[in-house]
Chains A and B, each alone.
Chain A
């Protein structure tokens, strides 16, 4: 009887699952191999550096990344630019500082300790410059979207002609991976829009992968440390569990009872 009920409930749950799959009409995201997935996943250093180039030359025109500092660019587990390179990158930005002793704000070249300079003063200014749509801050963007990296990677390559019968307002674009298929951001990438400093061919696919990798690191800068520590912690726990198991068997052998 019990088995019948269990079976019955499993069937109900399974059928509900398939029902939800039909009703939600899920979009299949584009797939690619991410080096940072899996137990030992690590970032592809060269891809992170290229991704930073895409971000800074393309995305950063509209998208802020306010929780990152220039020093992060040279830290372990990230793009690992040399400290000198990171300093040069920071110095290429004008940072507003102050007030000075005269009570005036002033600008100076950026330092490693500065946060990434924002393209707009505030959210309102960003909206005003972008037809009312706020380009979201990219610091944790990958973690803030359901599909994660696959979603971002697909979205960047998902621009198409709108299907016939669909009218788009001015400044609205068709993207097959966007929720509702309408997006205010025009296609940001096109083949050869930037020239990679390491000579890699800057195809849309390549740039999408690199910048998404970079965004993953930006959202989860401790990912490599986490994977490494996790492996050690779990191996340690498994060994300890086995040892404790045998101790337990030994101790319980003094009484006639199963453990």
Chain B
């Protein structure tokens, strides 16, 4: 039974009429069950093979990925990335850094980060010429727009999405500058593909740690800034940007640091899941409950908030942690 609406006007006939009208409409909607079309499952995974591995710089390799049957690959735009599904089950995003016009191959580049989360080490250790690799995408988290002038800022491996943007800007006749920073020339991939007086290569070992104001000083008039690099670089640039438009690649959720392991139990199924010290509750729960709702993965949007039983307390499972045994209303 639907209660009547709370009063706004003395009569409010139209608002009251919504009750019988919507009740009838709901009953009408039930007729849809008769010829319900089935949900068609869509497999978004591309099964590719590594066609070539190139050593690009210290700790950096690039991989050329092709379809084993030689079929053309889905189109992409500068700024797009692939989700690479590694044999261990890890899923990592890598920017496409090849030529969008080449429909036969994708190119990604990966810097090995020892002591990182292990994804890049796995790529370096396991992917060889001829290896099979499953990917999803391409998807675009760094859309490249057509504007008259650009300042591209790339820090280290952050050059990967910027590289196709630079080529597109050049082909379009835009006014652009690229400032490419890194520890040393030996650590910076693709230097050989970048030349000309629009490119500034700036290394820490020659010029010290870059200052964001100095980076922005290279901007042409009314430039739109595209920045990809380590988090401190992006934060530094954002802090001194003023009202210049800035596009930057948003990274995957911040890593969990200093967490203690604990256990959650899902009340509706009784399933118990351990939460490791370096993982979020969300990551652990998703393994047993793939349809769990979440969104921002930083704790602000509230999508993943669930009740902690018993009681009325809630937690955002993408960010909040507990101790011992936590029972969730899932």
Partners in one complex: no
User: Which residues of A come within 8 Å of B, CB atoms?
Assistant: none
User: Which residues of B come within 8 Å of A, CB atoms?
Assistant: none
